[in-house]
Structure 1
């Protein structure tokens, strides 16, 4: 039997235990897995799954150092003590399965280096996209392709909020508050609505797609707090929907770009139809072309499915080794090249200013003659070509002007905006959104 220790018995931990304890009709390898210990913060907390008392403990260190345990399943979340416990488990020769995108995005270099030296696996299918299989497909099924771009809707909370804003015409703050009441948004929604959660996930996907580690601090993150019902309405008139996209791509000028930001998505694109809490990841490469992976991005069942699939992958490799003891305890065990992390260098990152994009910009202006002409002149002097510019009406005593540009360099666009902000006739620029 392969023995596992589980750290955390929350929503995902509970779902994982339920799958492992109900193997009938599932993969036959589940029959060879035994839950040895489960670590929790509180013994007395009521739980949705009933476990024998001798399996449950608050002593997490004893689990990661238990010589009888082969695989540690980390489902606690957060940075610490999850990071330290994973490193300690690796030092004791144990494989890791985790759903912790924050730890992997920020400390993946440390964790994977330690794992490679110890000859153990770190599996993280559940860290991105919930139940959508994307990590192993990038490593294996899509591994022969030259990946050019990954575009994803990989945060269910923000997609739920933007979907309701689109359908109902409501404002961000009101729908966020309702989402919190319904349990779709955390009490502190910062990681979701500011794009940080999606930033963690796209950093992981970019590392796999481009074969180089990504420094999390190099990922540009912009959230959805500034998106208003007005912007949603303009997007609809222009035949777009607004989505929070996570994008990783190779840049023609060299390097890779990894970023998260709200985006106008044409209604005829597949990602435009991904609504509610669902996630989708569009992978573009050569020779495959495009493939989109779609499914539930969170939830006990979806995420636990990904966790257990990683456990099975490790168990399968262990059973093919001639000696179980060698496979678990030897620090020099040869790792399966399609399951392990093989790269150790960092990808060269392209500066945001070097990218090219189209933009939607909404200005509030003092209603004086010549404002549109001044805007056009400023944009033109900085090589920003305008697709459309129109005064759409008034908000109070301010004239509202909406500009959509052709594809331009972000550096030129920012230079133009810097000059425009200095114009006496510009009261504010409430919205700037990139266009896909």
Structure 2
């Protein structure tokens, strides 16, 4: 049998090499490569001889499966993101920045699920049990029937799960777990991969739901190998800015519900509180509208959300003007500025441009293009995609966006032409075909 060779892997991207280097050739990260022993390989096809495996049962596409039962937590925003509740034997990965509130959210969720009748086990690998109890006391959750453990040894955790047979296990976090069958340090690519595989497989075999907490890198991606995100059924990101009290729980993958669904929470002294009307919250601090301020009617998953975009253009003292963006794609902003300059004759040479999405919200859809290019009166919302030719393209769920704006008192909306004409009773809707017409009509310039 061939002797196993030592290998080196990058903790940032999972790239495997045969020798160590200070900088990863795949992702460019510095000091992220560590030595580890490779996972043991199974028996080769030659060693199996003529042994045959079992026959796999096959079905056709017409087979009707019973929808999986769900357990609701009572936290409407969490249940929404999960697709209607927690599914048995599901594996969920929750990632977020340090200190953003992941442990607080999951301790509150554990208490709610336990109160609803699920036998729940919370395993902390980062805090002692006394620290978790202090948090539970601050959140007034000490009466919840949650079983608590503080352990990082994967073998001991699996043995405990086998004996206790919980219906939900929360592991905080997957980067702190270590398996004695893998010869590398906790948090390495091999350890994270092995721990995630063992816990996910155990959950499937025992019909137990498991929630894994994952650390994130400086780029906002969950640390460790990307294969972990493929192993689990659902991947959630807990987002927010330290300076804002708003927190967004976003589903980027969900086998049991819609992806890109969001739940909105507010961080308070008593933990995370649900926000049932995010639009009203994101616009609550909006003062007297000024040039460079606009309300964008967006869609997050299945829910319409209104957010305020703020832009500032100022003369640049530098030879290379700055383009600073918070909450949106910086490359998309550069494209919008280029289209405004080339198609509408609005120069940005020698000007710094700053763009901010108020409230710590992050916007990903191209429907925000037209809002970024606009500065409108207080009673107007805007949405639409801008093409490189300067044409305005229609976006989906126009009617839902308008209904949400009308509910909050907006009386005028600007949207691209095309698509099905929405019902806009009580709201003035201006539909435009290109950016030049938009600039001329709204700003009185052509």
Same fold (TM over 0.5): no
Select the structure of larger CA radius of gyration.
2
TM-score normalised by length of structure 2: 0.31
Higher relative contact order (CA 8 A, sep 6+): 1
Please identify which structure carries the higher helix content: 1
TM-score normalised by length of structure 1: 0.32
